[in-house]
Amino acid sequence: MPSGRPSLVGLLGLVFLLLLIVWLGVNFIKDPQEFINVFFVGLTRGAVYALIALGYTLVYGILQLINFAHGDVFALSGLVASSVLLSVFGVTTDSGAGLVVVAIAVALLVAMVLASTLHVTIEFVGYRRLRHAPRLAALITAIGMSFIVQNIALAIYDVDYQSIPRLIPNSSVLTIGEVALQWNKLFVLALTIPVLLALTWMVRETRHGKAMRATSQDRDASAMMGIDVNRTISFTFALAGSLAGAAGLLFLLYFTTMRYDTGFELGLIAFTAAVLGGIGNLTGAVLGGILIGLIQEFNEGLAWATPGGDWTRSIVFGILIAILVFRPSGLLGEQTPEGE
Amino acid sequence: MTEQQTPERKEEEQRLQEVIAQRTQRSAGLWRRETAMALIPLVLVIGYAIIYPFESVYTTLREIPGIGDFFPTPGSAVIIIVFTMMAIGLNVVVGYAGLLDLGYVAFYAAGAYMAGWLASQHFEQVTFHFWSPGINPELPGIHINLWIVLALAGIFTAIVGIVIGLPTLRLRGDYLAIVTLGFGEIVPQFVRNGDNFKGFDLTSGSFGITPIDAPGFGDGLGSASAGLLPVNFQQSFDAEQLYYWSALGLLLFTVFCCWRLRDSRLGRAWIAIREDETAAAAMGIPLMRTKTWSYAIGAFFGGIAGAYYASFKSGAFPSDFYFNISIFLLCMVILGGMGSIWGVVIAGTILGWLNIEGLGVIGNYLNDWIFEPTTGSRIEVPKYQFGIYGIIIVTMMLFRPTGLIPERRRKLEMEEGVHDEPAMGERAVNR
């Protein structure tokens, strides 16, 4: 966006932002306690979105490909994690803390390994052959992959919702007046932040991260510098997959129920989050995820002048469209030619 | 610097011109013969399609042992034709102009609701009849003859296409796909929630608008043509056949329009944009206008098909308009070959049939012969239809990206690598 002269688009955005602030302000004044509670719910939901969005952003960053299958891999690994919890360990609400911890750890491992394997396989079978094909061919393949993974989940788990008992209690950690933060929310938040930090550290500091950044900037040049491009890309997919697996388990623990097509809508929302924050940007994905989560919960939870849950999807996609049209680089992303 | 006109040079030029004249003549003759050869199967196919719904024809076909199950009923055939029509509309956007539209279902919905608004009792506040075929003139609601509604739906949907296109078409490739996907998700939610805008019921919410008037020619034309033009389809005893023939007519109209459009100035501009946007712009093609036209025209046919289908089903329900429909249509275009009209028609027929009856039929065969004897249990094949479409999409993209019947030009593009964006290119900033 050119600096200096204010553009109509910028002005429109400002007006919209102002209205948003007024709306939030009025809601806060009317019922501050409810507002803060809803804020926490939104923050938690946003953290889950952020974890999924990170996977989209990692893959997009290296291949400029929207990996549609990501959301469905997330759902499938979450479902498998539910099987591990229920069938292998047979956890119930009365299970001892030790068993629960072990069960969750094993489920996490299984989900992450499964999702990574799936992602690497999808890349190897599908996307790798299409690196020199027209861009849309790869995107269309990704959509096809998404449907295939979704139907694998359908074949295993049918159309029923898989539910697990609430393993992370939703009793309050701390309460101030009527404002409360529950254990399960804290758990989700406490998991997302270290993941983001670890990822950022890995991409910025390690050799693998360096290889990833180099590959994303110029594949041919990195190959000449001795980087194994194929391995780097596979590694990125494995990383994105393990995030999807972790997000799958986290989603299951927090919302306690999911089914084969949970990943489709969540994937779209998470993708929106990644775009909102600036696709290809790790911090952006987390920021975008949290913003979308907040917007969704504010829309569904606040009392004054809210469109309500019926419109959530429209609002999320409206944001997606607005961001892509007015600021395709997202909040934190670099300017791309798409914006011109 | 002028070149000297030596006698040898003149001679050479003359010879060259002769050769050119000869070749033109030969190719013209060849063209005529080729067209004639191509016309014969075309006439046969259309003739077969026309006589198909006669009861004696399709019942005979359906009774052939072994393959009889593979012939759809005329009622299913109507749905197949309608979806093929939408696929051809989508082909204008995806195949000709190379813009991936993942929200085509929005146009289908717009067309269907247009039929719901203009040819049903939905707006019972008013009573307006215009050439309404065989419907009690006292009946409240807007009742416009469906033939007119079809045209209006097409125009309305084209306008919707332009409205969606204007802000989004300047985006490239995958971003455009995502934005259209967003619209494809917003429109169904809009119609689902549209039953209470400050007390005004626009779309009847999740109940949908039903019943919707059937097409017909009204009493005047009906009696003037001695029953040749039916008064009202739904009231005639061969309603399914009538629906079938008019759907076939609409399909032929769509095919004809798209075929002529491809070779028009606009069509060539679309193909130029598809091949290389920057070069096309440099050659003076107005990008935005040309792309918007492709959206509008693609939407136009989607709208007509949607309105017609709503009338056939006698209802427009928000649950019909989900994302998978867009993918289903996209699958038809990919299987047939992006940009290839005949390919899309054939793929549309195959996939449309699979969707309506085929998967069930094939599933039964598989269950009888393979699954039940080996595993002892039956598999509900139609449940996995989108997984099957996913496999089709991926297989086609990997092994035959030009489709079953490749369009000549598209094939060249794929083989020689003429495309505007490198597939998974380097980061744009560093290019």
Q: Do A132 and B417 touch (CB under 8 A)?
A: yes
Cα-based distances in Å from A122 to A248, B7, B99, B394: 18, 67, 25, 11
Q: Do B174 and A325 touch (CB under 8 A)?
A: no
State which H helix or E strand residue A175 sits in.
strand A172-176
Question: Could you tell me the pLDDT band of residue B431, with boundaries at 50, 70 and 90?
Answer: very low
**B136 CA: distance to closest CA in chain A (Å):** 38
The answer to whether the beta carbons of residues A235 and A212 sit under 8 Å apart is yes
Find the residue in A nearest to B335 (Cα). Answer: A140
Question: Could you tell me the pLDDT band of residue B29, with boundaries at 50, 70 and 90?
Answer: low
d(CA B217, CA B222): 6
Out of B189, B419, B422, name the one closest to residue A311 (CB). B189
pLDDT at B396: 92
Q: State CA B102 to chain mean position distance.
A: 14
Average predicted confidence (pLDDT) for chain B: 85
Q: Do A132 and B422 touch (CB under 8 A)?
A: yes
Total count of residues recorded for chain A = 340
**B374 CA: distance to closest CA in chain A (Å):** 18
B70-322 CATH, one of 1.10.3470, 3.30.300, 3.40.50, 2.40.128? 1.10.3470
d(CA B366, CA B373): 10
* Cα atoms in the 13 Å half-sphere on the side-chain side of B20: 6
d(CA A36, CA B312): 52
Q: Do B327 and A143 touch (CB under 8 A)?
A: yes
Q: Do B185 and A154 touch (CB under 8 A)?
A: no
A 86-115: CB under 8 A from B? none
Strands B127-130 and B141-144: parallel
Question: Across chain A, how many H-helices and E-strands are there?
Answer: 12, 4
**B17 CA: distance to closest CA in chain A (Å):** 40
Strands A172-176 and A179-182: antiparallel
> Is the CB of residue A334 less than 8 Å away from at least one CB of chain B?
yes
Provide the 8-state DSSP code for B371.
Answer: I
- Better-scored residue on pLDDT, A87 or A305: A87
The residues near B425 (Cβ < 8 Å, ≥ 6 apart) are A64, A135, B431
> Is the CB of residue A183 less than 8 Å away from at least one CB of chain B?
no
Find the residue in B nearest to A144 (Cα). Answer: B390
Out of B173, B179, B394, name the one closest to residue A135 (CB). B173
pLDDT at B121: 87
d(CA A188, CA B333): 43
* Closest CA relative to residue B425, chosen from A334, A60, A56, A338: A60
How many beta-carbon contacts under 8 Å exist across A and B?
166
A 1-60: CB under 8 A from B? none
Contacts of B102 in chain A (CB under 8 A): 143
- Determine the residue type at B193: N
Q: Do A144 and B423 touch (CB under 8 A)?
A: no
Beta strands in B62-182 (DSSP E): 119-120, 127-130, 141-144
Where do the structural domains in chain B lie, given as residue ranges? 70-322
Q: Do A138 and B173 touch (CB under 8 A)?
A: no
Out of A129, A137, A217, name the one closest to residue B427 (CB). A217
Q: Do B390 and A146 touch (CB under 8 A)?
A: yes
Q: Do B172 and A150 touch (CB under 8 A)?
A: no
Q: Which two tokens stand for residue B313?
A: 């089903």
Out of B173, B393, B401, name the one closest to residue A143 (CB). B393
d(CA B245, CA B250): 9
Question: Could you tell me the pLDDT band of residue B26, with boundaries at 50, 70 and 90?
Answer: low
d(CA A34, CA B195): 30
Question: Could you tell me the pLDDT band of residue B426, with boundaries at 50, 70 and 90?
Answer: very low
Cα-based distances in Å from A193 to A106, A173, A190: 21, 18, 6
Question: Could you tell me the pLDDT band of residue B27, with boundaries at 50, 70 and 90?
Answer: low
Total count of residues recorded for chain B = 431
Question: Could you tell me the pLDDT band of residue B392, with boundaries at 50, 70 and 90?
Answer: very high
pLDDT at B5: 60
pLDDT at A1: 44
The answer to whether the beta carbons of residues A42 and A297 sit under 8 Å apart is yes
pLDDT at A339: 34
Q: pLDDT tens-digit profile of B60-81? A: 888 888 788 888 988 999 999 9
Q: pLDDT tens-digit profile of B308-358? A: 999 999 999 988 888 889 999 999 999 999 889 999 999 999 999 999 988
- Better-scored residue on pLDDT, B28 or A198: A198
d(CA B318, CA B316): 7
Q: Interface pTM (ipTM) of the complex?
A: 0.87
* Closest CA relative to residue B103, chosen from B169, B180, B164: B180
Q: Do B387 and A138 touch (CB under 8 A)?
A: no
**% pLDDT > 70, chain A:** 96
> Is the CB of residue A204 less than 8 Å away from at least one CB of chain B?
no
Contacts of B192 in chain A (CB under 8 A): 310
Mean pLDDT value of segment A205-213: 91
Residue-range domains of chain A with CATH: 34-339 (1.10.3470)
d(CA B161, CA B154): 10
State which H helix or E strand residue B38 sits in.
helix B7-51
**% pLDDT > 90, chain B:** 37
Q: Which two tokens stand for residue A152?
A: 């694998």
Find the residue in A nearest to B94 (Cα). Answer: A136
10 Å CB burial of residue A316 (0-12, 13-18, 19+) is buried
B193-207, B384-398, B404-418: range with highest mean pLDDT: B384-398
Contacts of B168 in chain A (CB under 8 A): 321, 324-325
Q: Which residue has the tokens 């690497």?
A: A120
pLDDT of residue A253 exceeding 80: yes
Q: Do B189 and A217 touch (CB under 8 A)?
A: no
pLDDT at B427: 39
10 Å CB burial of residue B371 (0-12, 13-18, 19+) is middle
Q: pLDDT tens-digit profile of A145-189? A: 999 999 999 999 988 899 988 888 877 777 777 777 888 888 888
State the pTM of this model: 0.87
pLDDT of residue A98 exceeding 90: no
**A7 CA: distance to closest CA in chain B (Å):** 16
pLDDT at B239: 84
Find the residue in B nearest to A272 (Cα). Answer: B178
